[in-house]
Chain A
Amino acid sequence: MELVAIKYIGVGLTSIGMLGAALGVGNIFNALLGAIARNPSASDQLQRSALIGAGFAEAMGLFSFVIAILIIYS
């Protein structure tokens, strides 16, 4: 196989990293919905922390994007 082809296959494979971010964000909102269903009066505070947590979890998926860019431009 040509080297360029392998490079692009590797770049495509980095999109698997999105799986982890999706699982993480899904988990956070799963827990958020459960918590709001149990205690609706605390939903304001819970939502704020959940959004911050979602920001963290999303960033982990974006690191794979950074690696993809590093592979393309190296």
Chain B
Amino acid sequence: MAQHTPLSQFEIKKIIDINLFGFDISFTNSSLMMLISTLLIILSLFIATKNPKPIPTKLQLFVEGIYLMIKKMINDNIGHEGQKFMPMLFMLFLFVLFGNLLGMIPYSFTFTSQIVVTLFLAMMIFFSIIIVGLSKQGLGFFSIFNPKGVPIFLSPLIIVIELFAFLARPISLTLRLSANMLAGHVLLKVLAGFIVTLPLLFKVLPIPLIVILIGFEFFVAILQAYIFAILSCVYLSDAVKSH
């Protein structure tokens, strides 16, 4: 029983052992899934836009739909000057989306459930906010800690609260994505494990429930990728717009 706990699906296994200057940079199953998802993204984008037709094929429709969705999201949240973040947010959304969806294949690995991966993505957003904000607005960037219309005697308290809210952003981005993926997969495994203990005749009964839950997990996978992209977009709008 020890090797079949619901959490064993998140175990990282080394495929190729690489040790460089004392750092362990082995090629693991997590990196394999990341490589596969990146290759799938590049391949699908390449095939879809190779010879675009007036009446789009299904793949072209999918890619164009996602492109327009991200473009509209940036236009709504940041405005026209946010279009230079388009490539970053587009790839971020697709990377998280493919990671979540590839993880739904049985016996594959969900790399977005690893805190390392999501923390890296969130820190990338966090530092780009700071760098873009400082280079665009200079020291005026720090006015996000003191919003307009705050009474002067309240502002020391507000500055502390806003500072902690700002520092908690990458942590909440990280935990939201990885906890959703982790909890969903653990839930599926635990409920599937209950079926095994049932008597033989009743094993068919819970299958509709499991199917509904798997559908719900697909919905959560897409929704979390969207939330990750839209939150990075909202956070970036802080850096670009002056207050």
Interface residue ranges of A15-55 to B (CB < 8 Å): 51-52, 55
- Give the interface size bracket for B toward A: 10 to 19
Interface pair A66/B175, CB less than 8 Å apart:
yes
Selected contact of B227 from candidates A56, A62, A66, CB within 8 Å: A56
User: Which residues from B are CB-within-8-Å of A66?
Assistant: 175, 179, 182
Interface pair A58/B180, CB less than 8 Å apart:
yes
B223 close to chain A: CB less than 8 A: yes
How many contacts between A and B, using CB within 8 angstroms? Answer: 32
Interface size of A in residues (CB-CB distance below 8 Å):
11
Distance in Å from the Cβ of A41 to the closest Cβ of chain B? 21
Interface residue ranges of B131-183 to A (CB < 8 Å): 172, 175-176, 179-180, 182-183
Interface pair B227/A52, CB less than 8 Å apart:
yes
**Given that A51-B223, A52-B223 are known contacts, is A59 also in contact with B230, CB under 8 Å in the complex?**
no
Interface of chain A, helix or strand or loop or mixed? helix
Distance in Å from the Cβ of A64 to the closest Cβ of chain B? 9
Q: What is the chain A residue whose CB lies nearest that of B172? A: A59
Interface pair A65/B183, CB less than 8 Å apart:
yes
B110 close to chain A: CB less than 8 A: no
Selected contact of B180 from candidates A51, A52, A59, A69, CB within 8 Å: A59
C-alpha gap A51/B182 in the complex (Å): 20
* B→A interface (CB under 8 Å): 172, 175-176, 179-180, 182-183, 220, 223-224, 226-227, 230
CB-based closest 6 A-B pairs:
A62-B179, A59-B176, A55-B223, A66-B179, A55-B227, A62-B183
Q: Name 6 A/B residue pairs within 8 A (Cβ), A-sorted.
A: A52-B226, A55-B223, A56-B227, A59-B172, A62-B182, A62-B183
